[in-house]
Amino acid sequence: MKINLKFIFDFLVLLATEIFIGIYVKDAIIRPYIGDISAILGV
């Protein structure tokens, strides 16, 4: 099985974005909606 570096890069970018939203964003729009949408798109 060949490891695809693009998928690893995409995963790491999505993971970093989700962690950033979870730790630093404290509002009523971005955290509950944008964070959930980006998590769904990642799956």
8-41: per-residue pLDDT in tens?
998 899 889 888 888 888 888 877 888 788 778 7
> What's the pLDDT at 6?
92
For 30, residues 6+ apart whose C-beta sits below 8 A from its C-beta are 21
What residues make up the domain containing 16?
5-42
> What's the pLDDT at 5?
94
C-alpha neighbours within 13 Å on the C-beta side of residue 41: 12
Number of domains in the chain: 1
For 18, residues 6+ apart whose C-beta sits below 8 A from its C-beta are 35, 38, 39, 42
User: Residue 30's closest CA among 6, 1, 38?
Assistant: 38
**Whole-model pTM?**
0.69
Distance, CA of 43 to CA of 24 (rounded, Å): 23
Specify the amino acid at residue 16: A
